[in-house]
Amino acid sequence: MKNLIRIAVEQRKIVLFMALLAAILGIYSYMMIPKQENPHIKVTASMVTTLYPGASPQDMEELVTKKIEDAVSEISEFKQVSSESAKNVSVVIVEYHNDADIDKANQALREKINRVKGQLPKGCLEPEIDTDLAEAAGMLISLSGEGYTYEQLSYYAEAIEDAIAGIDGIYKTKLVGNVDKQITVKVDTDRLNQLDLSFGEINQILYAQNVEIPNGALENEAGKLYVRAKGFYQSIEDIKNTIVGVSPENGGILRLKDIATIEMELKEDVEKTKQGEQSAVILTGYFKEDKNIIPIGKKVRETLESLKKNLPQDLILTEVIFQPEDVQKSMKGFTTNLILGMVLVIVVIFIGMGFRNALVVAMGIPFAVAVTFIAMKATQVTFQSVSLAGLIIALGMIVDNTIVISDGIAVRYSNGESKREAAINATGAAAMPVFTSTLTTLAAFVPLLFIPGDVGSFLSSLPKVVIYALTASFISAVFVTPALLTMVIKRKESTDKGTGKIKERFMALLQLGIKRKGRTLAVALLLFLLTVGVVMPQLKVAFFPKADKDVLYIDTFVEKVGDLKHTEKIAGQINQLMLEEPEILDVTTGIGTSMPKFYTTMMPFPNKENYTRAILKFDIKKSRRFKTKTELALYLQEKLDAQMIGAAATVKMLEMTDTETPVVIRVLGEDMNRLKAVSWELEKRLKDTPGTINVKSNASENTFEYLIDADTDKAVMMGILNSDIQQEVSTALFGSRNAVFRKAAKEYDIQLISNMKRVNELENLAIKSSITGEKVLLKQVAQIKLEPQIDSIRRFKKQRSVLVTSDVKPGFSPVDVENHIENVALKDIDLDGVKIVFDGEREKIGENFSNMGALGILIFFLIYSILLIEFQSFIEPFIILLTVPLSLIGSMLGLWIFRKPLSLTALLGVISLMGIVVNNAILLIDYIKDARKQGDGSEEACINAVNLRFRPIMLSSITTLMGLVPLAVSASELFSPMAIALMGGLMVSTLLTMIIIPVIYLSFESFKNRFAVKAT
């Protein structure tokens, strides 16, 4: 390597030109790298949805769901399956192993579903497979206005959609809430019963009178002319005047308008959306993942501003969700932290070193950052919260190598060597220790690339960026720094600036520690034991914080089932309650729908008439009542609990992981009654547990339905088939859309339905026999009974299951809640016939912390192996690695002092420290070994090592600390604990390392000498 260094010094112009070229490419790469809000998460799951009209939940489970579950469980990448069987629909979620080849797994899924289709009952629609469950909308824009109908809003929304869909970078658009009109033909059932006419026959007449069939062509001298017979209805009057019967006695004509009302109206019982109290249509847009969405968002806004000129002034466009703005704010915040960290690092360098040396060291920062950008562009790492946090973490470390090299050059040059020789000799001497320290740091981050699951996918860009930055810093330190320093270094400049008095006091502490080695080691051990035994148990354990977005959403289930108008009324009450609060800026509501998914970890609900979701945009700075969004969410939840009647509303914050609630308990078994009983008991116990809120069980009470129980023998004797009853009742109550009405290039469904409202009207419905043509009242051949039914059947791992969930109030731990339920509450509950499975945050913590622990052990052995190769010794690497428990003292104390939880990212910081804190010990041990070879005594070598390496060690540590300051003081709940853990561990480890490592080294030397004496 020394020959390469010599070439770099001698050909410094070429080296500097290449560095300049790298900087230019880095700027270009920065501009081209996509900017996003969060990393893209690979979702290892797919969903299969199957419709079977008329089937009960039990039939769906037996005839559809179980067959699909059995089929998908044969996939090699299969991990587990969960499902829900409701009336008419089956939803099966297939989860794959974390390391699965998703494309291969999804292809296998399609093959299995194709095979099982033949086993599904006749009348079951083809299963739909959704393999992109991570897809989330990047923008939701609502169109609303006082007095506008849904049809008018849809007209304007379609024009806006066409313009937005043409923007490069948007791959899909969709309108939500665009309620269409229809022609409703509402038949008077009493009048129909008196006629020799059925719903089925009216349906056939409407279809037959409104059909166009190709008629062919005629040929003449001019050529071939096509023939077209006018078939479609031209006006509503045409529909009203449709002849549905002719009297055989007098030839009297019966028209449709004689037995029915025909009107154009909005479709009833369909999903609606509202902006505040006004009707609204939502335009949904999806951004391409490989694009920079900030300029795309700018183009969208420019397009909207241009379109507004041609829109009515009272039509309001509201940005419900606009990801480009969120990304821009996030980028601005992280970039500000990055620049601030860079400034702090540079200030420390200039304070601790001479001006020219400091200038050269500072110039290594933009070079390393530029090379990092190039590597990010080459490996498709995007700019988002995690990758930028990695860059901030690396910021302070990228000057460490440069400081060591420049300090060595300055010392040799001050001792009389020429600039060229000083640069070559100092860099050559420090190259291997610097290379080793870089390798040990990389060894702490490389294994983090292999964290499994969603967590690993989410965090993977952090170790990548750190690896790129540290590699670039080594190249800069070994080749660019000596080349540049030979051009600017001067002998007169001080190389011991700002550290003299501090070093004197520290050297005194070192000498005291060497004199009292036993007490020094005892104090260090006591600090470690106090940290592990006293401080760590007091830290709250957490998984991932909530997403840092000023958005809440409220999921509401209304007790009255099947009445969308009542659900709309409940949604209006929630809207009014929310807008009373000054912090709430906008409320956008989906009635009967969960609205488009706009965040990766959100769980969409199937459309239900008794369900509504409201999206709330807020600003807690509008008042001083709440310090955090968690406090606001808790306040809103308590308000809804106190004032909402007849509905269960849950205020939710966006999650960074797929765990929507921190406490999750599954009750598994086959007897639904036992499952419900146990789940309701668990729900009660959870509500009595301190710190819980929003306790829910999805084991609903049985709903009721009318069952038409036909006497088959009696019905057949009267000429009535089961299909006659089914078809007539279905058309009368559910309606039939078998024809369309065209107007102004638009098609409107024609719905045929009855005016029946009560059960006695259904009993008196006359059913026409398809065999005899005679009519029979339904009550003559069937009884109509009111019977309970199961609303839905959920399954987990092929067993029936009920889910009991709970949120946790601030200051309480979901781990403690689940521990209490498992160790205390379950002992008093009869669990006969059921199995309890905990699946909440406690389990996520256990699984992922175990993975981190395994990675920590791997990192330990990697670092030991590197040190073993470097020092050719078993003892010296062990001494160096004793800095790791010293860093643990500082990390835990830092988290405890600043009241931060031991989160997954904090643990990530602690593990990363293993590769950082050993660098200082490497520099000390390396010097001690060289000094011993030159004849110095053990104690003299230790003291001289600390004396000589004090300034570069302190400077490199302080620059790393300063680089982390902006991240530590930021409002990021995700990365602030990590930065504090890193800072605390590095600070304490640096101070203790320069005392403890020499003491331990001398203790080992003393033991070795005594052992050698005894041996002789």
What's the pLDDT tens digit per position in 4-23?
Answer: 888 888 888 898 899 899 99
Cβ-in-10-Å burial (0-12, 13-18, 19+) of 848 comes to: buried
User: Alpha-carbon distance 660 to 276, whole Å?
Assistant: 26
Domain 498-544+859-1008 has CATH 3.90.1150.10: no
What's the pLDDT tens digit per position in 155-175?
Answer: 899 999 999 999 999 999 999
User: Alpha-carbon distance 216 to 227, whole Å?
Assistant: 6
748 strand-pairing partners: 741
Report angle CA 330, 893, 855 to the nearest 5 degrees: 70
Cβ partners under 8 Å of residue 74, min gap 6: 112
What's the pLDDT tens digit per position in 367-416?
Answer: 999 999 999 999 999 988 889 888 888 887 888 888 888 888 888 888 87
Residue range 1004-1008: mean pLDDT, rounded? 80
Residue range 103-108: mean pLDDT, rounded? 92
Q: From residue 327, give the alpha-carbon distance in Å to each of 382, 459, 548.
A: 12, 18, 11
Picking from 42, 88, 45, the residue whose alpha carbon sits closest to that of residue 65 is 88
User: Alpha-carbon distance 979 to 990, whole Å?
Assistant: 16
668 strand-pairing partners: 801, 835
What's the pLDDT tens digit per position in 240-287?
Answer: 999 988 888 888 899 999 999 999 887 776 788 999 999 999 999 999
Which pLDDT belongs to residue 701?
67
Helix 841-871 × helix 814-823 angle, to 10°:
120
Helix 938-969 × helix 400-414 angle, to 10°:
140
User: Alpha-carbon distance 765 to 190, whole Å?
Assistant: 8
Residue range 858-864: mean pLDDT, rounded? 90
Q: What is the pTM of this model?
A: 0.82
Q: Where are the alpha helices (DSSP H) in 266-384?
A: 293-308, 323-352, 355-378
> Tell me, what amino acid is at 314?
D
Q: Contacts for 249-258 with beta carbons within 8 Å, 24 or more apart?
A: 254/195, 254/197, 256/185, 256/202, 258/191
Domain with CATH 3.30.2090.10 in the chain: 181-212+228-266+704-789
181-212+228-266+704-789 architecture in CATH?
Answer: 2-Layer Sandwich (3.30)
What's the pLDDT tens digit per position in 876-898?
Answer: 888 888 888 888 999 999 999 99
Which pLDDT belongs to residue 699?
82
Which pLDDT belongs to residue 1013?
62
CATH code of domain 1-32+353-497 = 1.20.1640.10
Domain with CATH 3.30.70.1430 in the chain: 45-130, 546-655
Reply yes or no on whether the pLDDT at 451 is more than 70: yes
Residue range 316-321: mean pLDDT, rounded? 93
- Among the residue ranges 62-66, 89-93, 760-764, 911-915, the one predicted with the least confidence is 911-915
Report angle CA 538, 542, 547 to the nearest 5 degrees: 140
Fold of 45-130: Alpha-Beta Plaits (3.30.70)
The pLDDT mean for the chain works out to: 87
Residue range 698-724: mean pLDDT, rounded? 86
> Tell me, what amino acid is at 104?
K
Domain 546-655 has CATH 3.40.50.880: no
804 strand-pairing partners: 665, 697
